[in-house]
Structure 1
Amino acid sequence: MLGDVRMEGDGWRIILPENPSAAPRVEIDIKHAQNSPMNDRVLCEEAIGIAKELMQSVKAQRFADWPRRATKPDAEGKVRHPFLEMEESNLWYCLHCNAEITGPQIAGTHWHCPGCGASPINIFPEAFWLGPNEEKPVPVQARAEGQGTEPIASIVDPRPKLDLSKDQVTHLIRAALFEDATNASERMGAGLAEIWVDDDLDVVVSFEDHYWPEEKEPTAAIDVAAVLGIELELEVMWSDPLFAWPGLGTVTQSTAEYTRMMLDAYRSHGIVEERDANR
């Protein structure tokens, strides 16, 4: 999160979350796992101490924009939400875990849920999302003093990891379709094509028949599928064209030129609704 503090050294990093209830995280790169200075408990604690000192200045900057009552409960335990203007209460509710939180509790955790750690934007003075027949919020179980402050150490591999998603495959295939397009009409077809990716990342591309020649093979898209080791199936769908006279786009590579020809055709053989210049 934006309020986290990060310290990094050669093959290690310390992340101190802005949520004061959350434990510091110590990450050691796998190739330094045996000889990292963070394996030394005393040195690690000293580094975390430095991070905590840095956190004080980060908190001061963050709290500068908060109302004073956000971190200072009144005599009745009421606090003001740092973001919801003028909302004050001595009881607050977490959208994530439905916990009921007292004013002093939420102020003490800097408006992170003491139960699940949800951020301040998930804390509200009423549990408005619960219906009348749903289970009512229960008081949050506050952690014992000092609990959860032990650092969590982990060995990590910092190298970029690729785990292809459906969205990534879709973007690659569509980029290849634009590469295959040789004129303005086919570029429209590349943009209008429906691309479905199944759980095995195999792809079905459905072309709009007015903008992509049925006999044209998208060779770049086929090559991308081959590189990815996935199946690519092609089909054609029939629907009304986006604009009349879709064939105009086949005679130019320029989208601007196609747009001019299309507008001229509408003005000569159809109707163009003129836009109000004041809108």
Structure 2
Amino acid sequence: MLGDVCMNGHGWRILLRENPLAAPQVEIDLPHAQNSPMNDRELLAEAVGIAKELMQSVKARRFADWPRRATKPDAEGKVRHPFLDMAESNLWYCLHCNTEITGPQIATHQWHCPGCGASPLNIFPDAFWLKPNEEKPVPVQTRAEGQEIEPVISIVDPRPRLDLNKDKVTHLIRTALFEDATNASERLGASLAEIWVDDDLDVVVSFETHYWPEDKEPSTAVEVAALLGIEIEQEVVWSDPLFAWPGLGTTTQSTVEYTCLMLDAYRSHGATGDEDGS
């Protein structure tokens, strides 16, 4: 989040979340796991302390844009939401964990839920999401005052990982289709093609018959799929073309030239873009 603080060293990093109840996250790169200075508890505590000092300045900048009553409860414990245009209240409710929070509690925790850590956007002055017959929110359980939050240390592999998903596969396959296209019409076909990716990341490409030859194999897309270790199938379906005379695009590789040919063809038949045909 915007209020997080990240401090980096050689082979290590410390992340402090905006939520004041979140434990400091300490990551040590795998190659430095044995000799990292973060293995020294005193150095670790000193580094976390520096990060917390930085957090104070970040917090001050955040609070500068908040209404004063967001962090300063009145005599009745009422506070105002820092972002949402709502009336002041001394009781607030977390949409995420369905708990009741007092004004002083939510202000102390910088409008993060003291129970589950949900962001201020999950905090409301009434539990509007509950139906009349549903159980009312219970008071939130908070950490004992003054209880220290120990850092969470993890050893991480800093090398980049290839995490393929449906969206990434779709982009790669469509890029390959554009490479397979040899003229303006086929580029339209690559753009219009429906690409379905299943849970195993296998692919079905559905081409529009006016813009992709039925007997043409998208060889580059097939090669990309093979490199990714996935299956690819193709089909051709019929639908109305985007423009009349779709075959004009097979005569040129230039989109500009195709557009000129298409417009000239419309003009030669007396067609215009006006709805009344004039």
2:139 matched residue in structure 1? 139
CA distance in 2, matches of 1:106, 1:71: 9
Question: Relative to 1, partners in 2 of residues 1:45 and 1:238: Cα closer, same or farther, differing over 3 Å?
Answer: same
Q: CA deviation at 1:179?
A: 0.8
Q: CA deviation at 1:80?
A: 0.8
2:252 matched residue in structure 1? 252
Unaligned stretches of 5+ residues in structure 1: none
Instruction: Look up the SS of the partner of 1:212 in the other structure.
Output: coil
Q: What do the CA deviations read for 1:212-271 (whole angstroms, capped 9, x no partner)?
A: 111111111011011111111111111111222211221222223323333333344364
1:242 matched residue in structure 2? 242
Instruction: Look up the SS of the partner of 2:121 in the other structure.
Output: helix
Aligned residues between the structures: 275
Question: Relative to 1, partners in 2 of residues 1:123 and 1:265: Cα closer, same or farther, differing over 3 Å?
Answer: farther
Say whether the 8 Å CA contact 1:95–1:123 is kept in structure 2. yes
Say whether the 8 Å CA contact 1:21–1:148 is kept in structure 2. no
Say whether the 8 Å CA contact 1:22–1:148 is kept in structure 2. no
Counterpart amino acid of 1:115? Answer: G
Structure 1 window deviating more from structure 2 (120-129 vs 59-68): it is: 120-129
Counterpart amino acid of 1:263? Answer: L
1:38 matched residue in structure 2? 38
CA distance in 2, matches of 1:187, 1:134: 56
2:220 matched residue in structure 1? 220
Counterpart amino acid of 1:246? Answer: P
Counterpart amino acid of 1:198? Answer: D
CA distance in 2, matches of 1:124, 1:242: 49
CA distance in 2, matches of 1:75, 1:271: 75
Q: What do the CA deviations read for 1:199-222 (whole angstroms, capped 9, x no partner)?
A: 211111111111111111111101
CA distance in 1, matches of 2:47, 2:230: 47
Q: CA deviation at 1:126?
A: 2.2
CA distance in 1, matches of 2:131, 2:272: 51
- TM-score scaled by length of structure 2: 0.93
Moved over 4 A (4+): none
Q: What do the CA deviations read for 1:71-123 (whole angstroms, capped 9, x no partner)?
A: 11111111111111243211112222222211111111111111111111221
Structure 1 window deviating more from structure 2 (67-76 vs 121-130): it is: 121-130
CA distance in 2, matches of 1:8, 1:89: 40
Counterpart amino acid of 1:99? Answer: T
- TM-score scaled by length of structure 1: 0.93
Any residues of structure 2 matched to 1:114-125 within 5 Å, and which? 114-125=114-125
CA distance in 1, matches of 2:272, 2:140: 63
Any residues of structure 2 matched to 1:152-171 within 5 Å, and which? 152-171=152-171
**Do structure 1's residue 81 and structure 2's residue 90 form an aligned pair?**
no
Instruction: Look up the SS of the partner of 2:26 in the other structure.
Output: strand
Instruction: Look up the SS of the partner of 2:135 in the other structure.
Output: coil
Any residues of structure 2 matched to 1:169-208 within 5 Å, and which? 169-208=169-208
CA distance in 2, matches of 1:28, 1:176: 39
Q: CA deviation at 1:129?
A: 2.4
Question: Relative to 1, partners in 2 of residues 1:265 and 1:76: Cα closer, same or farther, differing over 3 Å?
Answer: farther
Say whether the 8 Å CA contact 1:23–1:148 is kept in structure 2. no
CA distance in 2, matches of 1:270, 1:121: 58
**Do structure 1's residue 233 and structure 2's residue 233 form an aligned pair?**
yes
Q: CA deviation at 1:194?
A: 1.0
Taking every aligned residue pair, what percent have the same amino acid on both sides? 81
1:28 matched residue in structure 2? 28
Question: Relative to 1, partners in 2 of residues 1:270 and 1:39: Cα closer, same or farther, differing over 3 Å?
Answer: farther
Q: CA deviation at 1:151?
A: 0.8
Structure 1 window deviating more from structure 2 (45-54 vs 78-87): it is: 78-87
Instruction: Look up the SS of the partner of 2:27 in the other structure.
Output: strand
CA distance in 2, matches of 1:158, 1:261: 53
2:63 matched residue in structure 1? 63
CA distance in 1, matches of 2:100, 2:263: 61
Unaligned stretches of 5+ residues in structure 2: none
